[in-house]
Amino acid sequence: MSEFASVLRSWRDRVRPEAVGLPAGSGRRTPGLRREELAALAGVSVDYVVRLEQGRATNPSPQLLGALATALRLSDAEREHLHRVAGTALPSRRMVPRHVTPGVQRIIDRLGDVPLAVFTAAHDIILWNALWAAMTGDPSRYTGMDRNLVWRHFMHGHDEVEFDDEHQEEFSSDLAADLRAAVGRYPADRDLAELVARLRRESPEFERRWDTGRVAEHRASRKRVHTSVGPIEIDCDVLSVPGGDLRIVVYTAVPGTEDAAKLDLLRVTGLQELTPS
């Protein structure tokens, strides 16, 4: 058995189902994940996972390795080892980091009482909790550039989000300035360069803000989100993840307000709507 196949099987065996939001159940041959569970988490077929573990699948893509690393809750060192034994170059430090560390994953798992999501430095959403999906819509319905916050903001708008004029301008300006800062940090990232190029071509509003040359990081905003339980006024705070350049975006409502009560109601009704009957 190859080293790649060996570590993949070992890491799958050590991940408890309950640690990734799956029922432990009974009658399991292993305390870890089943192959079909890993396949679902990583977004690949069960047959492909079988071939990987049997050493019959070669040249897995960096994107697949990243998905496996996240699904298996790998540390940075383990993720690097996975790339090495797969014969794939390690992600360059000049590329936008996308790896979700176990610590960040635990934050998402534990803070289920507030909507939160994880974004890359380029504002691609890569992880979210159920309450985030209940409040803003399920991000899994989007693919490609539509999973990018800046792209959606300038190209499609946000029907469910309402800003006043001052905060609308501030938010738009901050997004463009933040994206420029990311370009400076990750000059070799082709996806980021393509995102900026398309935004400049297709969005006059983005181009106007880009031309100011402003560089900044978006940290906070206040907005009204229209949800299934009515509009909720929320504060949006952006927390940086040290070492990984990921951002955890958290929505909160002022305690004791009608907005907080609506968020509590959404936590019940919204999550029920997301759960298959």
Instruction: Express each pLDDT in 233-242 by its tens digit.
Output: 999 999 888 7
The pLDDT assigned to 272 comes to 63
What is the predicted pLDDT for the residue at 166?
67
Mean pLDDT of the chain: 85
Helix (H) or strand (E) holding 249: strand 246-252
Contact 201, 109 (CB under 8 A): no
Report the distance separating Cα 108 and Cα 105, nearest Å.
Answer: 5
pLDDT at residue 119, as a whole number:
95
Contacts of 140 (CB under 8 A, 6+ apart): 133
- Measured CA to CA, the distance from residue 108 to residue 103 in angstroms comes to 9
CA angle, 62 then 130 then 24, to 5°: 80
| CA–CA distances in Å: residue 257 to residues 37, 253, 254, 262 | 40, 8, 6, 9
Task: Tell me which of 166 and 86 has the higher pLDDT.
Answer: 86
Per-residue model confidence as pLDDT tens digits over 98-121: 888 888 888 888 888 899 999 999
Residue range 163-177: mean pLDDT, rounded: 82
Query: Of 19-33, 147-161, 194-208, 209-223, which gets the smallest average pLDDT?
Result: 19-33
pLDDT value for 151 = 96
pTM for this predicted structure: 0.75
Domain interval for residue 55: 3-85
pLDDT score for 161: 81
137: domain CATH number is 3.30.450.180
User: Does residue 97 lie within any of the structural domains?
Assistant: no
Q: Which residue has the tokens 């071939």?
A: 51
Check which CATH number belongs to the domain holding 77 and give it. 1.10.260.40
Check pLDDT > 90 for residue 176: yes
Predicted confidence (pLDDT) per residue in 64-96, tens digit:
888 888 888 888 788 888 888 888 866 667 788
The better pLDDT of the pair 243, 56 is held by: 56
Using CB atoms within 10 Å of the CB of residue 192, give its burial: 0 to 12 exposed, 13 to 18 middle, 19+ buried: buried
**Three-state DSSP class for residue 60:** coil
pLDDT at 92: 65
User: In the prediction, which pLDDT does 277 show?
Assistant: 43
> Containing H/E element for 230?
strand 230-241
Q: What is the mean pLDDT of residues 50-56?
A: 86
Tell me: do 205 and 79 sit in the same domain: no
Share of residues in the chain with pLDDT > 90 (%) = 32
- Are 18 and 67 part of one and the same domain? yes
Of 51, 85, 119, at which residue does a domain stop? 85
For the cut 60, the answer to whether the pLDDT of residue 12 exceeds it is yes
Residue 52's nearest CA partner among 184, 42, 162 is: 42
Quick check: helix, strand or coil at residue 40?
Answer: helix
Are the C-beta atoms of residues 185 and 121 closer than 8 Å to each other? yes
Q: Are residues 80 and 106 in the same domain?
A: no
Hey, what are 155's tokens? 């190209």
Task: Identify which of 73, 118, 129 has the alpha carbon closest to the alpha carbon of residue 96.
Answer: 118
Q: How many domains does the chain have?
A: 2
- Do 198 and 167 belong together in one domain? yes
Lowest mean pLDDT among 58-72, 103-117, 157-171, 177-191: 157-171
Are residues 240 and 122 located together in one domain of the fold?
A: yes
CA-CA distance, 81 to 245, in Å (whole number)?
21
